[in-house]
């Protein structure tokens, strides 16, 4: 009798509860099934994230291997006035003065002394390389052709004038990334402050000294002599 009553009670509960209870009852295993799939999916997601992180680290290592930091100025490349890529290795074993130049600057007159240094020492293995830059007061707005013409007509420049570049910021040229990493400026700051800062490079491709815009090129002659005379 007790079993019959229980059975009848269960039937009555199902009837009174109606379809909602049936749906709820039937949905329970589905919910757990979904939860099971979610959990099983979560593990691969964590695994995938770990794989991505690992791959990123491997990629970074591979990148650092293929793009190793240059040890020497002669490991670098730059574009010349004709936008052609040239290797600084062509100046290997020379003493080099690198200058960020501009045509409409208060220091533009330094072209005269730069050219004189080049003439005085080029036969002994010295070269001046000018890199036009328009980042300071927009004082180098011209094209490469206009810059070259200006330099020749006004100052008789014969040393190499390269392609216009950025010397600071996200688009800084690798040449200047290297130079600044080798020798900081005043107060240990690496950023180029203005036009006509100068870097003197030794025969082994390392930066010997960095000079501010206010240093006249003629004042560097003693250091150039010292490096040219060294073995």
Tell me the catalytic residues.
Answer: 105
Who contacts 8 (Cβ-Cβ below 8 Å, separation ≥6)? none
Question: Strand pairing partners for 126?
Answer: 95
d(CA 163, CA 217): 22
Q: CA nearest 115: which of 150, 149, 156, 82?
A: 156
Who contacts 216 (Cβ-Cβ below 8 Å, separation ≥6)? 110, 113
156: region left, alpha or beta (phi > 0 left; psi from -120 to 50 alpha): left
d(CA 194, CA 213): 7
- Label residues 207-223 b or e (16+ Cβ within 10 Å = b): bbebbebebbbeebeeb
Sign of CA dihedral 222, 128, 184, 62: negative
């Amino acid at each position: 009798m007790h079993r019959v009553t229980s059975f009848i009670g269960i039937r009555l509960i199902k009837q009174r509860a109606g379809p909602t209870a049936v749906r709820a009852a039937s949905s329970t295993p589905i919910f757990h099934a979904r939860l099971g799939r979610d959990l099983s999916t979560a593990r691969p997601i964590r695994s995938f994230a770990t794989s991505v992180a690992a791959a990123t680290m491997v990629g970074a290592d591979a990148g650092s291997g293929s793009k190793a930091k240059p040890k020497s100025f002669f490991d670098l490349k730059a574009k010349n006035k004709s936008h052609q890529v040239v290797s600084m290795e062509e100046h290997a074993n020379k003493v080099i003065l690198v200058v960020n130049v501009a045509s409409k600057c208060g220091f533009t007159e330094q072209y005269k002394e730069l050219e004189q240094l080049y003439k005085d020492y080029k036969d002994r293995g010295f070269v001046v390389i000018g890199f036009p830059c328009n980042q300071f007061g927009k004082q180098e707005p011209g094209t490469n052709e206009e810059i070259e013409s200006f330099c020749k007509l006004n100052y008789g420049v014969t040393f190499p004038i390269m392609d216009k570049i950025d010397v600071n910021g996200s688009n800084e040229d690798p040449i200047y990334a290297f130079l600044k990493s080798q020798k900081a400026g005043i107060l240990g700051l690496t950023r180029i402050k203005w036009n006509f800062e100068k870097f003197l490079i030794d025969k082994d491709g390392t930066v010997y000294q960095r000079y501010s815009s206010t240093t006249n090129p003629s004042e560097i002659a003693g250091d150039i002599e010292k490096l040219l005379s060294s073995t």
